[in-house]
Amino acid sequence: MDRGEADNMNADRREMTDTCLIVSGGPTDRKFAAEFVKNRKDPYVIAVDAGLAVCEELGLVPDLAVGDFDTFGLERMEELRKKEGWATDVHKPEKDETDTELAINTAVKLGCDQLVILGATGGRLDHEWSNVHLLKTCLDQNVDACLLDRQNKVFLIAPPGRVFAREEAFGKYVSFIPMTSQVKGITLEGFKYPLKDKSFSIGIEAGRMISNELEEKNAELHFTEGILICMETRDLT
């Protein structure tokens, strides 16, 4: 089944779909993923190449499988598809986009405005950095997207900023890293290490915004220009 057929098969979902879980092909801690999936009900699930193996182990049936399947294998994918009945969007290995990029583009096209992406970190660094930058595509289209693994939640923030609720925090630490050449007017309130109207450039004073913590029930980030990478992180126990 090609891209057009996949879109037609799922056209009736477009109006009701707002959240999408993308299971990418990178390393995924199965215990964490199982707990995460158990506590969620996503209207739409996209498996990306080797992400099919994760879905299979978790008993998670995707709505769509995307990629070139050079890792999972086309024959194995087709056998599973016939058994479970989901749509496919198969591409040649020689292409301009990564498989994860294809999945994100599809989710946005289907009308999803919230994306959670598993299996996008912890493996090859080139893919991981590419996936972080793919979040910019989502930000530009007003799509709330994050990369998630058992230690990290990664997302982008644009001005005017964001409020962080301690009871909703993913982990103990919150770090901010400039994604643009400059980020201006940064003020942190309610954090262990506050800031007042500071500006940062890529590579300059990079440690000033690493491993901060929420001290108040609600902490606030404000800034006037640029884009920040936010990483909510936790130590493994």
30 and 138 inside one domain:
yes
| pTM assigned to the model | 0.88
Domain that holds residue 175: 156-233
Task: Note if the bond before 160 is cis, omega within 30 degrees.
Answer: yes
Report the DSSP pairing between strands 152-157 and 144-148: antiparallel
* Residues 196/228, Cβ–Cβ less than 8 Å: no
8 and 120 inside one domain:
yes
Which residues, in sequence order, are CB contacts of 38 under 8 Å at separation 6+?
A: none
The tens digit of pLDDT for each residue in 106-125 reads 999 999 999 999 999 998 99
143 and 221 inside one domain:
no
108 and 41 inside one domain:
yes
Return the CATH number at 53.
Answer: 3.40.50.10240
* Residues 66/22, Cβ–Cβ less than 8 Å: no
Least confident of 39-43, 219-223, 231-235: 39-43
The tens digit of pLDDT for each residue in 160-169 reads 999 999 999 9
* Residues 48/108, Cβ–Cβ less than 8 Å: no
pLDDT tops 50 at residue 7: no
* Number of domains into which the chain is organized: 2
Q: Please give the average per-residue pLDDT across 150-179, as a whole number.
A: 96
131 and 211 inside one domain:
no
